[in-house]
Structures are given as C-alpha cells and as structure tokens.
Structure 1
C-alpha cells in the first residue's frame, strides 16, 4: 500500500519498498526524514538486544510500575507501543496479557508477520498532531528509545495524555546521550585521552541530532516534561546505570553489559547516514566510527550509560 502523506496511518502489506529510502548505502524510513538511523536487519538486531537488556534489568519483566493492576483482565484492555522497532516488547506483552489488544507503531515495517492474535503493527509518523487514535482509548502507553526521531517531545506527551484513559499508565524509557566513563559523566572528566574516540563519537552524535532539530536533553528531563503537561500525576523515576561491555563482576550486570555492548556495536556504524547528511566529510565519519569501535573493543576504562525510566498516571477527572 502506498501512502499519500506522512500523517496517514499505514497498514503493513506485502510490498514494503515504498516505506524505505536509501541514504548513503543504508535503508531509512520514508515517513520521518528527521529520524536518520537505518531500519534494516541490523536495526532489528539492535531492537532485540535492547529489549533483552531491559528484560534482564527489570528482573525478567517487560516493564516497571503497576502494569498488571492497570491491565487487570476484568475487561478489555488496550496497549500502545510507540516506536516499537522490531516489535519484541509488543509481542511479549501480547503473550503475557492475552486479553489485551496490543498495537505497536513504528516508522518502518520491520516487525515479524507471525504474531499473537491480539497483537498488530501499524505505521505512523509519531512526530505530528494528531496521532490517529481516539481520545481516552488506551490503558497503557509505552515508549522507549525514540526521542531522537521527535522534534517536539512535549507535543508527543500531550498526545499521549489525550490517548490515555483517565487513570491510564504511561512508561517512558530513554537512554542519556552523555557517556559515562569510570562513573563520571563526560563533562566531569579531567583526562579524556583514554576514551577520546568514544567521547568524540557521542559529541558528534549529539551535535548532528541538534542540527536535525532534536532536543538531546529530553531523556534527563522526562519527569519535568511530564509534570509540565498538567495531565499526569504520581510520576515515578527509576534511573539506572547501564554498563557497556564485559567488565561487571556479577552475572546480572554482566549480561546487561553484554547486550548493551552488542547494541552499541551496531549503533556506531548506523550513524553514518546522519553524520554524512549533516555535512561531515566522509573521511572524518570513517575516523569517528573507527575510533569509537576501537574504544568499544579495547576499552581502557569502564564505560556506561544512564537510562532514564519514568512512569506516571493520567489524572482522573
């Protein structure tokens, strides 16, 4: 099925070629030109690594907060997964809550076709007014690692507030874009020589996102942004430090670190279309990617990232 405008909701079909555009050798989505990370086989792998990492972080669960209470099976419940990626979270939630209707929304049809009967996937650009769903329709809305494709995140939060029923739950998860080295955020480091390639990569990534109109401070301001809407209450923050690599001594942190490492191993080259589109010379982009990979493969210090996790309820009338 072809589409007429970026605001039109699409259903997945057999011929998906019109949903992609090729930029510097990688397949990108056609709906939102602001989101410059590829949507290909590596993107599906990244989506799964990120999902499995969070499952371990959440002690085997797919969520934080009172999800079971919100999705109590006494009546039909509806779940919306924004930026579903490979669809792993939506599928697992559909399996866990078979009486709930689960909808996963993304910019590209990279989700599997064989899914639980209560799970569907749809295509939509989420960076718009209005999202094509009714008011007060969903009991739970979940969004993670998607702010880099949203130029007006407060507007998205207002839309989430519109779509949630009173008393409904929103879960937001966003990784911080400021790296942490040996427990210190990059701005606090006095000696950057041991992780120069890693730090230069993240500096460039943030700068290119800003050039695309992305607010890179969103992850650290999630509670503040939710409160500013006057739509949500009982905002709970559960930030976590995510190790990157194979250094943690305990098994749980080591597993989280391994999945994070695999995620970032694929993210580093995935930024090439963004960097080149921003006007960086190809030689510099190759160097940034090579040096970041070197610091990832042969770390002299322990790298980690801060994951911002927030959930809140929509106010009752």
Structure 2
C-alpha cells in the first residue's frame, strides 16, 4: 500500500483537461448501483431511511448508493486498493469483524472475500444491502448510537466505520461501545474525510462558495447535534477512550485532474466526481430542516457549489483520515 501523502507536495499539471467537462457530464459519469425497494420517507426529491427517521440527515436512495460506490472506490484508490490500514496480521487473521454504518455493504462484502474464515457483520439504519451475500457475511438493521446487542461471547477482532461524521451525536459513547465489544488486542478503524477544501498554492480561495459550504455544514450539523467535520478529532477521542497505538494516516485527495502525478491525477478525477456528488446529500436536509432554507434556495446553492468545483484554476484537495487504534492486549475487562 502507498504511504500516506500528507506531507507530499502535489505538482500541478499545466494542461487544462478538466475544462473539457462540466458538472453535469461529470455527474452523469458516475457508477451504477442497485437498490432494494422498501418503505422510506421522501423529502425534497430524495429518499431517507424510515427506521428511526431523522437520526441521519443523508439520503439512502439509488443516487446516494451510486455516490457511496464512488466513495468506496476513492478510499481504496488512496491506499492502493487496501480496505484498511490497521495491522490486523499482528494477532493472526481476524475471526469476527464488525462494520458500523455499512451502507450498501460493499466494504463488508469485500472483507468477507478477503477473510473467508472470518464472520463479517454489517449494521446500518437502512436496509439497502444486497439480498444475497456470502455465508460469512450478514447484515443487521440497527442504530449504532443505541446499545449494541452483541453478547460477551461475540466480541470482535476488528471494528470498522466509515463516513460517520454528521451521523453520531455522542462519539464518546460510541467509542466506549467499540472498546467494550473488541477483544483485547483487537483493532478499531475510522475512515473519514474533512468537509472542507484546502490548497498548497492558495488557489482554494477561488472557490468561495465551497469555503462557505464548509462553514454552513459545520453550523447546521452542530445545531443538529451531530457535527460533520470530526476527522481531526478522532485520534484524541480514541486516546481518551483508552485505546493505545493510535495512528492517523492522512492522505491528500486532489479535486480534479490538475496534479502532474499520473496516480494523483486519477485519484483527482474520482475525487472531483465524489465531491460534486456529495454536496447535495450532505446539504439538503440540514439546510432545510435546521437552517430553515426553502428547497429552492438550497438546490440553487447546491448547483452553484457544484459549478464552482469545475473551476480548473483551483488546485484544491481534501484530507482523508484513516485513524486506527488497539484495545490493549493486557486489558481483560469484558
């Protein structure tokens, strides 16, 4: 797997490849993903989970599932194809793995293929996982913020969660539950990205709407009670929860094909699609439910932000965090 590129300087490609596309054509190039048809709640033209409605402000419709497929691809591109950064082999192959907020279940399914002797469990508020899965992979509709129903004998070797920012009110409680449901020596890993853009050359200031979007998401998600931009805080929270060997691998994800490096250029192409696709689902419910915007105002804002992503003179990137930690081996508490 490639090492984290947090300190790497990204050289700019002076060609203008991205100018050949507009936001609509980039969105239309996304991946196709199937979805189950169940009872859901519809709002502002998007579909949301009905189970414990309102607890999670991001849709679960087919459009969102397409976005999750892109996001999964992007997380793997950054690590060179790896699903995780935790050193799982230290204590031998894991036997039980939990995926919190599994979404479409893609990560869990791929882990089931990689660890065929392990039992993989995925939990989520939405029943959008495949009807058929390998015998070592099961999905449960559950709320990660409630008491976990697993018994002492069902402790896990590895607990994974991705993109939970904006969906958790009490991170301290969540991490305590993760700690208590890990075997001593087991690992937990959170994969998150910052809800903001940066640049090395200061050109991110050419995207004032994206900077404004970051501020508004922070305001709205905080008022909602579930802050979105939590990635930089995870390491400290894990240490406070009693975990050891806390490590944060941080990657720069370019937005657009402006980097000179072929690898980063490819990541940037996917990163641009991912950002464009994320703006609406992250914004609509929070802006209309919390900030009191009309749907029309929120949608116009989303469209303008999407167009701003297409500014090829803006050499923006987003920081992706892979934060992992271990329950101490000498901790025999249950």
What's the TM-score bracket when you normalise by the shorter of the two chains?
A: 0.7 to 0.9
Question: Is structure 2 residue 292 aligned with structure 1 residue 274?
Answer: no
Query: Within 1, Cα distance between the matches of 2:45 and 2:299?
Result: 14
Correspondences of 1:9-24 after superposition (within 5 Å) = 17-18=38-39, 20-24=40-44
Partner of 2:148: 131
Find out whether 1:58 has 2:71 as its counterpart: no
How large is the Cα RMSD of the aligned pairs? 2.1
Q: Distance in 1 between matches of 2:84 and 2:266?
A: 18
How far is the alpha carbon of 1:171 from its aligned partner? 0.8
2:188 alignment partner, SS class:
strand
How many positions carry a matched residue from both structures?
292
Cα distance in structure 1, aligned partners of 2:111 and 2:301:
38
Could you tell me how far 1:219 is from its partner in structure 2?
Answer: 1.1
Give the structure-1-normalised TM-score.
Answer: 0.86
Ranges of 4+ aligned residues in structure 1 off by more than 6 Å: none
Give yes or no for the alignment of 1:210 onto 2:229: no
Shift of 1:105: 1.0
With normalisation by structure 2, the TM-score equals 0.82
Q: The residue matched to 1:238 in structure 2 has which SS?
A: strand
Q: Name the CA shift for 1:183/1:72 in 2 (closer, same or farther; >3 Å).
A: farther
Task: Check whether the contact 2:165–2:229 (CA below 8 A) recurs between aligned residues.
Answer: no
8 A Cα contact 2:186 2:326, kept in partner: yes
Q: Extract unaligned runs of 5+ from structure 2.
A: 1-34
CA shift digits 1:180-230 (9 cap, x unpaired): 13466xxxx8x83x2122222222222111111023452111110011112
Point out the structure with the larger strand share: 1
Q: Which runs of 5+ in 1 are unaligned?
A: 1-13
Q: Aligned partners of 1:121, 1:269: CA distance in 2, in Å?
A: 27
Is 2:330 the partner of 1:309?
no
2:122 and 2:139 in contact (8 A); partners too: yes
Alignment of 1:99-178 (within 5 A): 99-128=117-146, 130-135=147-152, 137-178=155-196
In structure 1, the partner of 2:302 is 289
Q: Where does residue 3 of structure 1 map in the other structure?
A: none
Is the contact between residue 200 and residue 288 of structure 1 (CA under 8 Å) also seen in structure 2?
no
The match for 2:272 among 261, 269, 278 is: 261
The 1:257–1:71 alpha-carbon spacing in structure 2 relative to 1, beyond 3 Å, is farther
Superposition deviation, residue 17 in structure 1: 2.9
